[in-house]
Amino acid sequence: MNLADIPTLDWLAASITLLSGLLISMAVGRAVRSAAKPLKLQREMANVVARVVRVIVMTVTIVIALDMLRVEVGPLIGALGIGGVLVALSLQPVLGNLVGSVMLQAQRPIRTGDQIQTNGHSGTVIDINGRAVALKSFNGEIVHLPNLKVLDEPLVNQTKDEFRRTVIPFQVSYDADLRMAQKLLSTEIRNLPGLEGAPPADVLVTGFGDSGVDLVARIWHPSEELTSRWLISEAAITIRETLSRHDVEIPFPQRVLHVKGSGGALPLDD
């Protein structure tokens, strides 16, 4: 049909439909942004969702308006479908990361400010956007990890809980009083400044090594990385100083070599 033959009322109806669709898309976009805070969506993610919704509303509106003007929309829809498939294939990594961002926002395994380990990197999450998770490493570098990589690889959220545990292995000599060493070290470590409110530390015997008895100190400490590093260091120093004060030896690695006919054994340090 020639466009000149279309009645004025149809032109008016199509124009009103387009205007209504534009107003509806704008209203829906504002509604999505308004709902971002209650739904705990970041601003950038809310903007992306709002744009997608607006495009969908306007596309439907345009198709309805063209139908009112008696324009054959079947071939147009088919062309848009083929074009959409081609665009989707070419933008697959981008769209994949965008979907990954939505999943991270919905599942919320991590949030801005969390300290995480993933893909061989560790640091503090400073942003989760439509393409990547941005980390500030503990050495100060900024690392951008694609969202799909974060979803596909193991992800450790170190600060999900207030406290986490570190195990410090050490040895004492075979002639040491193990129960006394356990009691002393447990008490000293639990009294360290900074461990208030954390589950109590304990010391366990785990085996018998070549040079001495194997023990571990299991220490619960605040999850924040820099604080935990300092407290682990303090705990290790406390173990060394406490054993030294009570004359409990931390043995050096050594081997005993028996020489035939020597009448004795010769200790050899490693």
Domain final position from 63, 90, 117: 90
Domain encompassing residue 15: 3-90
pLDDT in tens, 178-226: 999 999 999 999 999 999 889 999 999 999 998 899 999 999 999 999 9
Q: Does residue 152 belong to any structural domain of this protein?
A: yes
256 close to 266: Cβ distance less than 8 angstroms: yes
Domain assignment present for residue 264? The answer is no
Taken in order 2, 8, 13, 19, is the CA torsion positive or negative? positive
What region, left, alpha or beta, does residue 113 occupy, with left being phi > 0 and alpha being psi -120 to 50 degrees? left
Domain-embedded: residue 43: yes
Look up residue 250 and give its two tokens.
């931390």
Give the chain's end-to-end CA distance (angstroms, integer).
96
What CATH number is attached to the domain comprising 51?
Answer: 1.10.287
Could you give the CA distance from residue 29 to residue 50 in angstroms, rounded to a whole number?
Answer: 5
More confident residue, 21 or 251: 251
Question: What would the pLDDT profile of 54-99 be if each residue is shown by its tens digit?
Answer: 778 887 888 787 777 766 666 666 656 655 555 554 445 666 666 7
Same domain, 11 and 76: yes
Output the pLDDT for position 163. Answer: 94
| 63, 78 contact by CB (below 8 A) | no
At 49, give phi and psi (nearest 5°): -60, -40
DSSP per residue, 90-107 = HTHHHHHHHHHHHHHHHH
Q: Contact at 8 Å (CB) between 10 and 3?
A: no
Distance separating alpha carbons of residues 152 and 145, to the nearest angstrom = 11
Beta bridge pairs of residue 127: 134
Per-residue pLDDT, 268 = 56
Q: Is residue 210 part of a domain?
A: yes
Percent of the chain with pLDDT over 90: 41
Q: Looking at the domain assignment, is residue 251 inside a domain?
A: no
Domain boundary among 32, 62, 90: 90
Q: How far is CA 243 from CA 172, 177, 186, 220, 251, in A?
A: 9, 11, 12, 21, 11
CATH number at residue 133: 2.30.30.60
- Domain annotation covers residue 266: no
User: Do 13 and 43 belong together in one domain?
Assistant: yes
Same domain, 86 and 7: yes
Q: For residues 17 and 25, what is the distance between their CA atoms, to the nearest angstrom? A: 12
One domain for residues 20 and 84: yes
Task: Judge whether 60 lies within some domain.
Answer: yes
Strand ranges (E), the chain: 115-118, 121-128, 132-137, 142-146, 155-157, 163-172, 202-208, 213-222, 254-258, 265-269
